[in-house]
C-alpha cells in the first residue's frame, strides 16, 4: 500500500473506518494527512479512538458539527507520508473480534468498491 497516492490512502482509511459502523467517510485534507469522518453513532468514534490509541502517529480530533452530526478528523501527526497498513490491520482486528462476519472479506469489498486499483 506504500505505493498508493496520498488521496487513495485517505480513501482506503475512510472506507475501512466506515466498516466499524456509525462513521461515514466525507473527504480528506492532504496538506496534513487527515481523513474526515461524519459520526452518527458516538460509540463508533470511541471504538476508533481505542483502535488508534496505540499508534503515536495517529490521533482523532473533533473538527466541527453538532451533537447530531459531529465531524471528526483521523489525523496523521507523523513525519512524511503515513504507512496506513498497520492502522488498517488494527481496524480489521477490531472487526474480527466484534463482528460475526469475517471482516477481511468486508474490508476487501469496501476497498474494491471505493478504489478498484487497491491491491491487498
pLDDT of residue 101: 47
pLDDT of residue 65: 76
Domain positions in the chain = 6-114
Rounded to two decimals, the pTM is 0.77
Please give the torsion angle defined by the CA atoms of residues 81, 85, 88 and 94, in that order, rounded to the nearest 10 degrees: -130
Query: The dihedral of CA 69, 65, 71, 27: what is its sign?
Result: positive
Per-residue tens of pLDDT for the chain, all 120 residues:
567 888 899 999 999 999 998 899 999 987 889 999 999 888 888 999 999 999 999 999 998 877 778 999 999 999 888 999 999 999 999 988 876 544 456 556 655 655 555 554
Q: What is the CATH number of domain 6-114?
A: 3.90.1150
Amino acid at each position: 500500500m506504500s505505493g498508493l497516492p496520498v488521496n487513495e490512502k485517505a480513501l482506503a482509511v475512510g472506507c475501512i473506518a466506515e466498516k466499524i459502523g456509525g462513521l461515514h467517510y466525507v473527504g480528506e485534507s492532504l496538506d496534513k494527512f487527515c481523513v474526515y469522518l461524519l459520526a452518527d453513532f458516538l460509540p463508533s468514534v470511541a471504538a476508533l479512538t481505542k483502535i488508534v490509541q496505540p499508534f503515536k502517529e495517529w490521533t482523532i480530533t473533533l473538527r466541527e458539527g453538532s451533537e447530531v452530526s459531529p465531524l471528526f478528523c483521523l489525523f496523521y501527526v507523523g513525519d512524511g507520508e503515513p504507512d496506513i497498513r498497520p492502522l488498517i490491520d488494527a481496524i480489521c482486528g477490531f472487526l474480527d473480534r466484534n463482528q460475526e462476519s469475517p471482516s477481511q472479506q468486508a474490508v476487501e469489498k469496501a476497498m474494491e468498491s471505493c478504489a478498484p486499483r487497491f491491491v491487498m
